[in-house]
């Protein structure tokens, strides 16, 4: 990658898409470029790894570990481009590749290079397969007012050396369903539960209330909802905890900072929120109402002990 490349705004866009920290995004992108250099020096990384394999290599563990979410984020942020032969290639790899790779691919000292993956074109057989898929169902004139549909079932030409030009982002094989169904299947996201999404919106309102410049997109809300869903508590309890986190009682030396759905889930599951809440209650000035409630509690405890015979007359 170019010097200071990790400071590019699209790195932050990538982190926002996945709701991860910047240092996590840096590590994943550094790994992506390292894998490309090692296994696909021409830039065609999508032909070497399936989505699942690449997600594992980049240590992607978010949003149910669904690899298509990672691939969509990489493409949306501008780090990979869809390609008819290689499924996807690293964006502008001819510029970002190391110098010795550039010499090998471009050629040097009068020797021709091996070329870049992004310049590869589909073979004639692949183009024919693509055309056949697009015209597989074609209405024909039957001579009356009713349109008939003729389904062409002729054998398709095999393509053993290269995958289909419209392979989905989830499989490098060329024997999948038609291109339209493959793309729509890999791109389809299950809608989040409405209550989980409302939890995410509740947290977003609190975050933007304190940090007005924070930009929260719909994709980021869905990612937050997926993280908050992992918290094993009623929705009302989660929202009360969020309110407490942004109240005056969560301030000072031991305050808990939560600015994303992932942070809320991590700090809840680690017990940090509960511990901070207990510290806050212990250090809070006692009001007359608190004192009265504590007196009633002690009297009830004493009565219970007397009934059990633990305290004499």
At 111 the pLDDT is: 79
Taking alpha carbons only, the member of 120, 121, 116, 100 closest to residue 40 is 116
At 214 the pLDDT is: 81
% the chain with pLDDT above 70: 64
Lookup result for tokens 């901070």: 276
Task: Work out whether strand 137-140 and strand 148-151 pair parallel, antiparallel, or are unpaired.
Answer: antiparallel
Supply φ then ψ for residue 73, to 5 degrees: -65, -40
At 57 the pLDDT is: 92
Is 134's pLDDT higher than 90? no
Rounded CA gap, 101 and 106, in Å? 8
Token pair of 285, please? Answer: 């000035």
- Alpha helices (H) in the chain, listed in sequence order: 9-18, 22-39, 45-48, 51-57, 67-77, 93-96, 99-106, 124-134, 179-187, 194-210, 218-228, 235-245, 261-269, 272-283, 288-307
At 70 the pLDDT is: 92
Mean model confidence pLDDT for the chain: 75
Rounded CA gap, 233 and 217, in Å? 25
List residues bridging with 138 in a β-sheet: 150
Highest mean pLDDT among 137-146, 248-257, 281-290: 248-257
What is the mean predicted confidence (pLDDT) over 251-263? 80
- The residue length of the chain stands at 313
At 287 the pLDDT is: 55
Is 64's pLDDT higher than 50? yes
At 87 the pLDDT is: 92
Rounded CA gap, 207 and 229, in Å? 18
Per residue in 164-215, pLDDT (tens digit) is 444 444 444 444 445 444 444 444 556 778 889 899 999 999 988 888 888 8
Per residue in 296-311, pLDDT (tens digit) is 666 766 666 566 554 4
In which band, very low, low, confident or very high, does the pLDDT at 253 lie, cut at 50, 70 and 90?
Answer: low
Top pLDDT among 103 and 301 is at: 103
% the chain with pLDDT above 90: 23
Top pLDDT among 240 and 179 is at: 240
Taking alpha carbons only, the member of 103, 102, 90, 77 closest to residue 31 is 90
Is 138's pLDDT higher than 80? no
What is the mean predicted confidence (pLDDT) over 38-42? 90
Taking alpha carbons only, the member of 98, 101, 77 closest to residue 88 is 77
At 247 the pLDDT is: 84
Regarding pTM above 0.75, the answer is: no
In which band, very low, low, confident or very high, does the pLDDT at 220 lie, cut at 50, 70 and 90?
Answer: confident
What is the mean predicted confidence (pLDDT) over 135-155? 41
Top pLDDT among 290 and 99 is at: 99
Token pair of 38, please? Answer: 């090692």
At 110 the pLDDT is: 77
Range of lowest pLDDT (51-55, 81-85, 127-131): 127-131
At 301 the pLDDT is: 66
Rounded CA gap, 87 and 45, in Å? 8
Rounded CA gap, 11 and 22, in Å? 8
In which band, very low, low, confident or very high, does the pLDDT at 295 lie, cut at 50, 70 and 90?
Answer: low
Top pLDDT among 54 and 172 is at: 54
Token pair of 272, please? Answer: 């940090």
Taking alpha carbons only, the member of 39, 40, 185 closest to residue 120 is 40
Task: Work out whether strand 107-108 and strand 87-90 pair parallel, antiparallel, or are unpaired.
Answer: unpaired
At 89 the pLDDT is: 93
């Amino acid at each position: 990658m170019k010097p200071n490349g990790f400071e590019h705004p699209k790195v932050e866009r990538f982190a926002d898409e996945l709701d991860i920290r910047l240092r996590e995004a840096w590590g994943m992108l550094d790994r992506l470029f390292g894998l490309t250099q090692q296994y696909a020096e021409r830039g065609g990384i999508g032909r070497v790894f399936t989505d699942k394999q690449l997600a594992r290599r980049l240590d992607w563990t978010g949003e149910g570990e669904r690899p298509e979410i990672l691939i969509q984020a990489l493409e949306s942020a501008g780090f990979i481009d869809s390609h008819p032969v290689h499924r996807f290639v690293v964006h502008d790899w001819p510029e970002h590749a190391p110098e010795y790779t550039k010499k090998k691919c471009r050629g040097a000292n009068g020797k021709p290079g091996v070329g870049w993956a992004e310049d590869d074109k589909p073979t004639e057989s692949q183009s024919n397969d693509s055309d056949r898929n697009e015209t597989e169902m074609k209405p024909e004139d039957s001579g009356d007012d009713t349109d008939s549909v003729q389904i062409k079932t002729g054998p398709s030409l095999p393509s053993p050396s290269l995958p289909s030009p419209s392979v989905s982002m989830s499989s490098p094989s060329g024997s999948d369903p038609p291109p339209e169904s493959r793309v729509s299947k890999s791109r389809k996201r299950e809608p989040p539960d409405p209550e989980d999404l409302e939890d995410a919106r509740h947290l977003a309102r609190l975050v933007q209330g304190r940090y007005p410049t924070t930009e929260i997109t719909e994709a980021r809300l869905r990612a937050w909802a997926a993280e908050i869903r992992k918290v094993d508590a009623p929705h009302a309890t989660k929202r009360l905890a969020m309110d407490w986190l942004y109240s005056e009682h969560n301030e000072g030396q031991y305050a808990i900072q939560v600015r994303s759905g992932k942070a809320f889930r991590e700090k809840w599951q680690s017990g940090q929120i509960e511990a901070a809440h207990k510290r806050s209650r212990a250090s809070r000035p006692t009001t007359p109402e608190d004192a009265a409630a504590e007196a009633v509690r002690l009297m009830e405890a004493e009565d219970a002990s007397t009934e059990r015979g633990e305290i004499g007359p």
